[in-house]
Structure 1
Amino acid sequence: MKKVSLLIVFVLVVGLIWGCNLPNNDVEEVRTIKVGITMYNEFDPFTEEIRHNIENNLTQIADRQNVEIVTTTVYSSQNQLVQNDQVEDFIEKGYDIICVNLVDRTDPSVIIETAKSTDTPIVFFNRELVEDDLKRFDKLYYVGAEPEESGKIQGELVLSALEKRFDEIDISGDGVIQYILLEGEVGHQDAIIRSRVSVETILDGGIELERLGDEIANWDRKQAQTKVTSLLQGYPRQIELVIANDDNMALGAVDAMKIFRVQNMPLIVGVNGDQEVLKYISDGVIEGTALNNAEAKGRVIAEMAYGIAANGKVPDDINLVDGKYYYVPYIKIDRSNVKEYIEE
């Protein structure tokens, strides 16, 4: 009887050991997804905010979905050839999807053909390429905002201010608003359309305008400051309105006005919703801005990147225009609502 009991114990122990060494098919392996991000420039505050939100949202998605998401960000230093090589390097290293903030929106051919030949999906963002280029491969997408909307908001901000205090803004008293335009960069679709629509909106509102200057400042605060300083030397008291394609250049205009000690600050409008600009709006230094929602863009890009890489498709709750485009709406910000957007 004792021998039988020992035999049973031995069998149970061996069975237990054997069972422990068997592979556990119920334990799901953690999948690794590789996402590459290439940025046109590391010194643009707005695109850096988008990049930061993409990375943060991918981290949150990884936690929710129990997957490992490896995110690698590189910068192209405003050189399209460098960016082409970066995309090729991502593909050679087996990245599942690449998010591209184009250097030159008119020259995406190398990236598109490289992606197409390797069946690698690309999400372009914030620099909208030509429609025909986006149609060249069925796994190309774009996330951005419609520039017409931002230009219209800028025009509406100006019209609203002029309706309330035209005589105060019209320093010369001639019934004409003298303005300068600060444009983002040559050939950038947002800069071209935003500039045109903002001015057209003001003119359509019955306001007579006289342009004193139209300067390219490349979305850069220091460049904008330099360009406005130069204009102030020719028009020290005549500038009544500054239309800046983005907040960074609006801040450059403010810097120039302060250094030049302009007594009557002109009406200034921007685009993006920069926190420093929001504080200036609250203080009455800048009239308003069109919030270009970097947080929403980052979230959508991250969700699209994960959905395409993990499931082979854009998530169902992201409604694309023409199966290719996702546009994040702008929000008009002035003194009436600015406190809702200022971060404490």
Structure 2
Amino acid sequence: MKKTFIAAGVASLLSTSAMAETIGVSMALFDDNFLTVLRNGIQEQADAMDGIEVQIEDAQNDVARQLDQINNFVASGVDAIIVNPVDTSATEAMTAAAEAAGVPLVYVNRQPINVDTLPDNQAFVASNEEESGTLETIEICDILAEQGTDPAKIYVMMGELSNQAAVQRTQDIDDVIAAGNCKVEIQEIDRQTANWSRDQAQNLMTNWLSSGEEFHAVIANNDEMAIGAIQAMKAAGISMDDVVVGGIDATQDALAAMAAGDLDVTVFQNAAGQGGGALDAALKLSKGEDVDQKVYIPFELVTPDNMADYTSKN
């Protein structure tokens, strides 16, 4: 019986010594800061190993294109496949295609809809999203409480609604508030998706600002949207000292925004660790070795007090 375990560090995931093998990798999108770090983590880990070739392709946020890539990997005889899903609700067909061909498959970062019923030669490597939005929201609540902002009016920016991470991170916000773990009363003004995009978030924040509604915080499902919101607020002449802004991923751009005093909270998600862990799992499965079906790499809260510890991690 496979089980879930928490990975205390990336090193424990990178122990495979492999003979010549080819791993097909389908990424949801190349043009994304976080996914670029994840993709580089896969490539760098492969480069550090003898006889490992990775063929990495860009699905360009197109589900049909991604399924075609998986079918092409199968036809070309790869030893295993790694998938960062475009749409986590559309993963059953990918699981079925790989299972029918007997090719091991590892989902990375975005949880497939069928994660609890994956075949024995498939696995999921990511971080537990129940931690991400929870850490972010509690910290924002604490900051608001320290400022004496009660009640606090907030906006919520969601990622792509087809992605489990966006759904869970938003649910985390609701769960923190419902459980009474926020030290101030929260009054949500609005929540909308900006699809993980900095540009879309900037436009969304601009629209919200046009209402003239008073607000005290923006809770975003990722750093890119948080940065977009910050850009819109600064363009409108709003002092970032007056608004609490949080994101998730602890990208280098986010850390720069934090150093500038614009971003208050982010949560480190070890993209490179997830990439290396996914490659390790794929290589083990290709050899017929046992792999835990869910490999979780912990999230870590990042604030101005400890951000210097993360400047070289992504």
Shift of 1:105: 1.0
Q: State how far apart, in whole Å, the 1-side matches of 2:289 and 2:296 are.
A: 18
Per the alignment, residue 278 of structure 1 pairs with 255
Q: What CA distance in whole angstroms lies between the structure 1 residues aligned with 2:93 and 2:107?
A: 14
Paired position in structure 1 for 2:47 = 59
Of 89, 108, 118, 2:91 maps to 108
> Hey, what does 1:190 align to over in structure 2?
165
Distance 2:204 2:88 in 1: 25
- Looking at structure 2, the residues matched to 325 and 343 of structure 1 have their Cα atoms a distance apart, in angstroms, of 27
Q: CA RMSD in A?
A: 1.8
Give 2:198's match in structure 1, choosing from 208, 221, 239: 221
Match of residue 39 from structure 1:
27
Distance (whole Å) between structure 2 residues aligned to residue 154 and residue 300 of structure 1: 24
Larger radius of gyration: 1
For 2:225, give the aligned amino acid: M
Helix, strand or coil at the partner of 2:247 = strand
Does residue 242 (structure 1) correspond to residue 218 (structure 2)? The answer is yes
Find the residue that maps to 1:226 and give its secondary structure: helix
What letter matches 2:134 in structure 1?
K
Please list, as runs of the form range in 1=range in 2, the aligned pairs for 1:190-339 lying within 5 A after superposition: 190-202=165-177, 204=180, 205-235=182-212, 238-263=214-239, 265-309=242-286, 311-314=287-290, 323-339=292-308
Q: Tell me if structure 2 keeps the 8 A contact 1:97–1:122.
A: yes
- Range with bigger deviation, 134-143 or 324-333: 134-143
Partner SS for 2:308: helix
Give, as a single letter, the amino acid of the residue that structure 2 aligns with 1:37: V
Change over 3 Å in CA distance of 1:306–1:114 after alignment to 2: same
1:202 Cα offset (Å):
4.3
- Matches of residues 104-143 of structure 1 in structure 2 within 5 Å? 104-131=87-114, 135-143=117-125
1:177 aligns with one of 142, 146, 152? 152
Partner of 2:80: 97
1:313 to partner: Cα distance: 1.5
Would you say the 8 A contact 2:82–2:279 is kept in 1?
Answer: no
Q: Distance in 2 between matches of 1:160 and 1:211?
A: 17
Partner residue in 1 for 2:3: none
Paired with 1:112 and 1:150, the residues of 2 have a C-alpha distance of: 26
> How far has the Cα of 1:31 moved from its partner?
4.3
- The residue that corresponds to 2:63 in the other structure is 80
Q: Where does the alignment leave 5 or more consecutive residues of structure 2 unmatched?
A: 1-17
Q: Deviations over 1:200-244 (max 9, x none)?
A: 3245124211112211001000000000000000036x1210000
SS at structure 1 position matched to 2:229: helix
Q: Which AA in structure 2 matches 1:52? A: N
Cα distance in 1 for partners of 2:86, 2:119 equals 20
The alignment partner of 1:312 has SS state of: coil
Q: Is the 8 A contact 2:158 2:166 kept in 1?
A: yes
Deviation at 1:280, TM superposition (A): 2.1
Under a length normalisation based on structure 2, what TM-score does the superposition of the two structures give? 0.88
Partner residue of 1:341? 310
Tell me if structure 2 keeps the 8 A contact 1:155–1:199.
no
Runs of 4+ in 1 over 4 A off after TM superposition: none
Amino acid at match of 2:157: L
Contact in 2 for aligned 1:134/1:140 (Cα 8 Å): no
Partner amino acid for 1:129?
P
Separation of aligned partners in 1, 2:90 and 2:175: 29
Amino acid aligned to 1:195: T
* Separation of aligned partners in 1, 2:216 and 2:206: 15
How many Å separate the matches in 2 of 1:108 and 1:301? Answer: 17
**Structure 1: 5+ residue stretches without partners:** 1-29, 63-67, 315-319
Q: Which amino acid aligns with 1:152?
A: T
Alpha-carbon distance in 1 for matches of 2:161, 2:208: 19
**Higher mean C-alpha deviation, range 224-233 or range 154-163:** 154-163
Please report how far the alpha carbon of residue 134 of structure 1 lies from its aligned counterpart in structure 2 after TM superposition: 5.0
Contact 1:182/1:217 (CA < 8 Å) preserved in 2? yes
**Are 1:165 and 2:147 counterparts?**
yes
